[in-house]
């Protein structure tokens, strides 16, 4: 699963050949959550509240790029990295 970004100990990843809806995974220590790219709602797992807020903030800044990465992954194309939350 390619890592597409990393910030404040949070690792953002996206799998190839994943199920719908378009989504990404966020990992922080022993926590992991899966986010719907279109709504930024957690569709699986959990994160601490502070981390959840940072991931949603980051994803809202990169939603179009995340959708592009989803399409690239679906077509078995290489993925690129996104800048971290600042």
pTM of the model: 0.94
Examine the pLDDT at 7 and tell me if it is beyond 80: yes
User: Residue 12: exposed, middle, or buried by beta-carbon count in 10 A (0-12, 13-18, 19+)?
Assistant: buried
Examine the pLDDT at 71 and tell me if it is beyond 80: yes
Task: Name the pLDDT band for 16 (thresholds 50, 70, 90).
Answer: confident
* pLDDT computed for residue 35 by the predictor: 98
Task: Name the pLDDT band for 63 (thresholds 50, 70, 90).
Answer: very high
* pLDDT computed for residue 1 by the predictor: 64
Please compute the mean of the pLDDT values over residues 3-29 and round it to a whole number: 95
How many CB atoms neighbour CB 72 within 10 A? Answer: 16
- Mean pLDDT (the chain) is 96
């Amino acid at each position: 699963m390619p890592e597409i970004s990393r910030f404040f100990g949070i690792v953002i990843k996206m799998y190839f050949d994943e199920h719908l809806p378009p989504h990404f995974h966020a990992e922080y220590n022993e926590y992991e959550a899966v986010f719907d790219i279109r709504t930024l709602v957690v569709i699986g797992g959990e994160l601490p509240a502070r981390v959840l807020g940072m991931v949603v903030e980051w994803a809202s800044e990169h939603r179009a790029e995340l959708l592009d990465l989803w399409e690239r992954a679906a077509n078995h194309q290489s993925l690129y990295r996104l800048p971290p939350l600042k």
